[in-house]
Amino acid sequence: MKKLILSIDGRDVEVLAQKAKGKVWFHWQGDTYEYTPRAAQKASGSGQAALDPTQIVAPMPGKIIKLQKQEGDSVKEGETVVVMEAMKMEYNLKASKEMSIKKILVSENQTVSLAERLVELEEL
């Protein structure tokens, strides 16, 4: 952890900061921010995966509790496809638009890691 004095808009401000795993954590004016450097943002195309309607990825590490759909099924927007458990709570992973299930890549009771692809979908 480092205490930095940065010049922002001509004013000196105090920021506490730490780099970890390619990201910067800093505390400034009462709030803490996790910041991904611009260079890394471009490289990984960060944010793309979550918005892609053709796949459902694990938003956290955890366990697959239930698969509500089978390959070939169609799903409506907002319909639950996968039920996951993490930190003792269940989470419903939903389809972001009307699609059909192309491929299911996991099975019930399987442990999955963060951002692991669970289901592939395709346009109807």
Q: Classify 70 as helix, strand or coil.
A: coil
Task: Verify binding: residue 14, other proteins, rule CB under 8 A.
Answer: no
Task: Verify binding: residue 15, other proteins, rule CB under 8 A.
Answer: yes
How buried is residue 112: exposed, middle or buried, by Cβ count under 10 Å (0-12/13-18/19+)? buried
Residue among 36 and 102 whose Cβ is closer to other proteins: 36
Task: Verify binding: residue 57, other proteins, rule CB under 8 A.
Answer: no
For other proteins, the binding residue among 14, 22, 73, 74 (CB under 8 A) is 22
C-alpha count within 13 angstroms, C-beta hemisphere, residue 44: 12
- Site residues for other proteins, window 80-109 (CB under 8 A)? 83, 85-91
Residue among 93 and 105 whose Cβ is closer to other proteins: 93
Q: Which residues are bridge partners to 3 per DSSP?
A: 16
